[in-house]
């Protein structure tokens, strides 16, 4: 027979005891630290419900920071180092706000306060990413019967930094044509313009561009194969890195004009240890830097009135 026993502790806290039999022996479930009899009764009722379904509840406190860290190691270790860093940013935010507070004690109200505080100086994209990480982790904690309630359910995201308008981020077709024409005029002036040419005609990520080696170019078939990236920032690993995911490994069919430019460039290339196309010895990362390329791009756009 299941029953609830509630006793006062120190004049403030309450506990419950739910009877349970295991292999013919009495093994009651007890838990204390509740602020009121009502909270203790509700918790006991949840335990009784789980026992009725044949589920033995997980009552040992499990710190949210330790659980999330273990969750990253178990389910996210196959991701690229750059992507894993985003999960560790979320872990850092969890530690800053919740510390080692047990998962079982976090309510929807607590989580909403956390999101409101975190989003006070963050963009929509950053807040959405953090919420998606914690929501996925919470669902797994429910699957493991560590918690009963999804404290991330119906969370409201509120952020202070407005997202960039699409017109501020993207070029329309006519502007792209103007930019491409200008880059073609300047393509022989420096390696930066060659990179910009390839960026505009392929849509490659910057890490993919600077990770290109001459062996990736097939001048007979006018194709470029993308199968790696290069670490060009402090947060990246040094040297060659994997692509963002398996789908990022691809071969691109190129226009003849662009390939002719790189064929000529390959005939006068300076040799380097890794045969990098965009090798730049003056850079800390040995390739053209993102800030240098962006500065040149900004000057081009300004000059064209875009």
**Mean pLDDT value across residues 240-250:** 89
Rounded average pLDDT over 247-261: 94
127: pLDDT strictly greater than 60: yes
Neighbours of 42 (CB within 10 A): 12
List of E strands, the chain: 4-9, 13-18, 21-22, 25-26, 29-34, 217-218, 223-226, 229-230, 240-241, 250-253
252 has which bridge partners?
Answer: 224
What architecture (CATH level 2) is domain 64-143?
Answer: Orthogonal Bundle (1.10)
Distance CA 9, CA 11 (A): 5
Tokens of 157: 């995201």
φ, ψ dihedrals at 261, nearest 5°: -60, -45
Q: What predicted TM-score, i.e. pTM, was given to this entire model?
A: 0.52
pLDDT bin (cut points 50, 70, 90) of residue 55 is low
- At 129-176, the pLDDT tens digits run 999 999 999 999 988 878 878 999 999 998 877 665 555 567 888 889
Q: What is the CA radius of gyration of the chain?
A: 28
Between CA 248 and CA 191 the distance in angstroms is 24
Calculate the alpha carbon distances from 32 to 8, 42, 43 in Å.
9, 13, 10
Instruction: Report how far residue 77's alpha carbon sits from residue 72's, in angstroms, rounded to the nearest whole number.
Output: 7
Q: Which CATH architecture describes the domain 167-304? A: Orthogonal Bundle (1.10)
For residue 14, what are the β-bridge partners? 8, 34
Banded pLDDT at 67 (limits 50, 70, 90):
very high
pLDDT of amino acid 238: 73
Torsion of CA 181, 186, 191, 193, to 10 degrees: -30
Beta strands 21-22 and 217-218 are unpaired
Q: In the structure encoding, which two tokens stand for residue 201, read together? A: 């005609």
- Average pLDDT for residues 274-299, to the nearest whole number? 91
- Which range is most confident: 37-46, 72-81, 214-223? 214-223
Q: What gap in Å lies between CA 172 and CA 136, rounded to an integer?
A: 37
* pLDDT over threshold 70, residue 278: yes
pLDDT of residue 192: 96
Q: What pLDDT does residue 30 have? A: 72
Residues β-bridged to residue 255 = none
Examine the pLDDT at 7 and tell me if it is beyond 60. Answer: no
The CA-atom distances, in angstroms, between 7 and each of 4, 13, 23, 31, 49 are: 10, 8, 27, 11, 21
Q: Confidence class of residue 179 from pLDDT cuts 50, 70 and 90?
A: very high
């Amino acid at each position: 027979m299941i029953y609830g026993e509630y006793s006062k502790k120190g004049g403030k806290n309450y506990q419950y005891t739910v009877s349970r039999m295991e292999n013919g022996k009495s093994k009651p479930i007890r838990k204390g630290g509740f602020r009121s009899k009502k909270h203790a009764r509700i918790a006991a009722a949840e335990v009784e419900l789980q026992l009725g379904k044949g589920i033995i509840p997980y009552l040992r406190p499990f710190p949210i920071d330790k659980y999330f860290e273990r969750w990253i190691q178990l389910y996210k270790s196959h991701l690229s180092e750059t992507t894993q860093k985003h999960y560790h940013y979320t872990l850092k935010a969890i530690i800053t706000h919740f510390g080692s507070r047990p998962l079982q004690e976090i309510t929807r109200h607590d989580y909403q306060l956390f999101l409101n505080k975190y989003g006070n100086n963050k963009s929509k994209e950053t807040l959405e990413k953090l919420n998606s990480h914690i929501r996925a982790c919470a669902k797994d904690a429910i699957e493991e019967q560590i918690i009963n309630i999804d404290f991330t359910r119906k969370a409201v995201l509120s952020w202070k930094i407005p997202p960039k308008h699409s017109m501020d981020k993207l070029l329309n077709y006519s502007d792209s044509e103007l930019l491409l024409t200008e880059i073609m005029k300047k393509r022989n002036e420096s390696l930066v313009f060659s990179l910009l040419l390839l960026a505009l005609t392929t849509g490659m990520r910057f890490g993919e561009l600077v990770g290109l080696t001459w062996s990736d170019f097939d001048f007979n078939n006018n194709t470029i194969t993308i199968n790696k990236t290069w670490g060009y920032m402090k947060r990246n690993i040094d040297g060659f890195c994997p692509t963002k995911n398996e789908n990022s490994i691809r071969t691109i069919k190129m226009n003849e004009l662009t390939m002719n430019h790189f064929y000529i460039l390959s005939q006068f290339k300076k040799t380097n240890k890794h045969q990098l196309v965009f090798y730049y010895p003056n850079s800390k990362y040995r390739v053209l830097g993102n800030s240098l390329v962006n500065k040149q791009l900004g000057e081009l756009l300004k000059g064209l009135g875009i």
